[in-house]
Chains A and B, each alone.
Chain A
């Protein structure tokens, strides 16, 4: 099973892997089919690369979750404490990620920056998910006027490129981390509305809905017990991937100076801060960026893995 080992970090490589069944029932089937007794490959082989990567992603996310909930556990220092004698020191044992231009420890700031950066993305996704779900269900379950109105408004919202819409909304409310989260959340609504509506329409025309209606279930029962749960099922995956893009957008807004105000640590804003001292200390820019990339990559990867699982491709 060479291919399995060399399988990529990428999802669709796994798609092409040989069709050896990986379900626990598979060996029993092949035994029943009377194949020669042999070493059962599917039971003994190493876990697939995709699964390993998903486990790694979960580990990274757990570590970052710890940084969000209890940053002082990972970095006991004060993220705002500036040591004038330690300006722009390269990474060392004492400062694992070096210090910035006013002598603050970059590692402590990266750890403490996890909370605003990740919560920004999380609250933005929650907002777009909640409003998008309501609007999408509304447009998918009703007829004539309501869906037309909802979808035209959605079209208008989707006519703005997302980051631009977020910048625009920040210009309405003013900058700040709370407003940035709202802005990114609103900018994401059209996307989720479209997905939820499409899913609702798909589920509505499914034969099991017809069956439920034929069995005499009331309209409310059909909607609440069959349509809504099935239409919303893919959202977990979509929201996981959405979390990564919302976090990226949040970091971008902070980088542009429209998100988290200094001096409190936030990954995007830390990069703005490091911009002017790039030639004197690469570490102040590299580590916060690495943190964003690791978080986004882990969420994206986990989302894809969940997606493949839900589609039965793993």
Chain B
């Protein structure tokens, strides 16, 4: 077997995609069976959600089991779930009488808006702080201390402090969600601040390493300004560790969204997940978890491919010495 680095590029890409697809399938499978091994009878959850008028009798439970295919063997249920999943059908919610897919589609917009603004802010903040502080001892020290504090602060507490300052004290932003961009800024900032901290840290560390290289001295001697050197040479070398970190934190954003949406009383996927978990709405939990895993894996896959585009050395068939 040839080592991975010696295989042609196309095969490596295919291999990577295949492996990721298998990982997602494995994750969905694990989640499916885990949810079914729980000693909670889904029929009870469904019957309980149907309203108080229906007495939970054996016949009612049997009817529900038949309707939701819960009476078939577990493996058959699993195959049935998978076959519908590839068509975009994630089953019916146990609690809300709607398909899981449409519930998710409904709530996806506010979360996507929140996530993209948060990512944008995190990138802007970390780039600005990272570039400006790299190579400067005192600025680095201050930025590093702030980053440590931000990375140690719980997301919801940052949200609390922002709310206290900007809605209670200065009343610049609405306390509750009103739908507009104004009510999006504080939640996005709540996610962006702790996300930006490790990003800025990674960026500065790798830029500091680059700035000690001899070619930086050459560039400076050619008359390039400090900022231009950082932008043209430093950034290029810092981009791979930066992207790795960014991919990880952006992929994990749904967890942060659950907290932020609960805190700010916003609708969205995160809140949908928390509600589904507390009400034991298993198909909805499964759907959301599968979706989040898919997003996480795809994000990391995209970052891997971005390396190939950015660093041409990785494309060559033989590894660099």
Contacts of A172 in B (CB 8 A): 34-35, 37-38
Contact A6 B274 (CB under 8 A): no
Interface presence of B74 (CB below 8 A): no
A16 CB, nearest partner CB in chain B, Å: 6
Interface presence of A208 (CB below 8 A): no
- Using A155-B23, A161-B252 as known contacts, say yes or no to A175 and B278 having CB atoms under 8 A apart: yes
User: Interface residues of B: mostly helix, strand, loop or mixed?
Assistant: helix
Interface string of A4-34 (1 = CB under 8 A from B): 0011111111001000000000000000000
Interface presence of B149 (CB below 8 A): yes
**Stretch of A38-46, A91-99, A288-296 lying at the B interface:** A288-296
List 6 A-B pairs, minimum CB-CB distance, nearest first: A10-B144, A8-B141, A163-B255, A289-B157, A161-B252, A297-B152
| Docked CA distance A164–B31 (Å) | 12
Looking at the complex, which one of B137, B258, B276 makes contact with A16 (CB distance below 8 Å)? B137
Interface presence of A177 (CB below 8 A): no
**Stretch of B115-123, B215-223, B288-296, B303-311 lying at the A interface:** B288-296
Contact A278 B252 (CB under 8 A): no
Interface presence of A266 (CB below 8 A): no
- Please count how many residues in chain A sit with their CB below 8 Å of the partner chain's CB atoms: 51
Contact B141 A256 (CB under 8 A): no
Interface presence of B238 (CB below 8 A): no
Interface presence of B138 (CB below 8 A): yes
| Docked CA distance A6–B139 (Å) | 11
**Which residues of A103-126 are within 8 A (CB) of B?**
none
**Stretch of B64-72, B90-98, B161-169, B183-191 lying at the A interface:** B161-169
Contact B255 A159 (CB under 8 A): no
Interface string of A140-173 (1 = CB under 8 A from B): 0000000000001001100111111001101111
**Stretch of A69-77, A197-205, A217-225, A244-252 lying at the B interface:** A244-252
Contact B289 A164 (CB under 8 A): yes
Looking at the complex, which one of B35, B141, B254, B292 makes contact with A10 (CB distance below 8 Å)? B141
**Which residues of B21-35 are within 8 A (CB) of A?**
23-24, 26-27, 30-31, 34-35
Count of A-B contacts with CB under 8 A? 169
A20 CB, nearest partner CB in chain B, Å: 15
- Using A293-B149, A293-B153 as known contacts, say yes or no to A8 and B144 having CB atoms under 8 A apart: yes
Contacts of B293 in A (CB 8 A): 159-161, 164
| Docked CA distance A271–B161 (Å) | 11
Contacts of A301 in B (CB 8 A): 148
Contact A248 B154 (CB under 8 A): yes
B218 CB, nearest partner CB in chain A, Å: 22
Looking at the complex, which one of A156, A164, A244 makes contact with B292 (CB distance below 8 Å)? A164
Contact A9 B26 (CB under 8 A): no
Contacts of A233 in B (CB 8 A): none
Contact A170 B141 (CB under 8 A): no
Contact A252 B292 (CB under 8 A): no
Contact B26 A152 (CB under 8 A): yes
15 additional A-B pairs beyond A171-B280, A248-B152, A290-B157, beta carbons within 8 Å, are: A6-B138, A8-B145, A160-B289, A161-B253, A164-B255, A168-B34, A172-B37, A252-B155, A257-B274, A278-B164, A278-B175, A285-B164, A289-B153, A292-B154, A296-B154
Interface presence of B140 (CB below 8 A): yes
- Using A9-B141, A170-B277, A258-B278 as known contacts, say yes or no to A292 and B31 having CB atoms under 8 A apart: no
Contacts of B205 in A (CB 8 A): 12
Contact A161 B292 (CB under 8 A): yes
Interface presence of B151 (CB below 8 A): yes
Interface presence of A35 (CB below 8 A): no
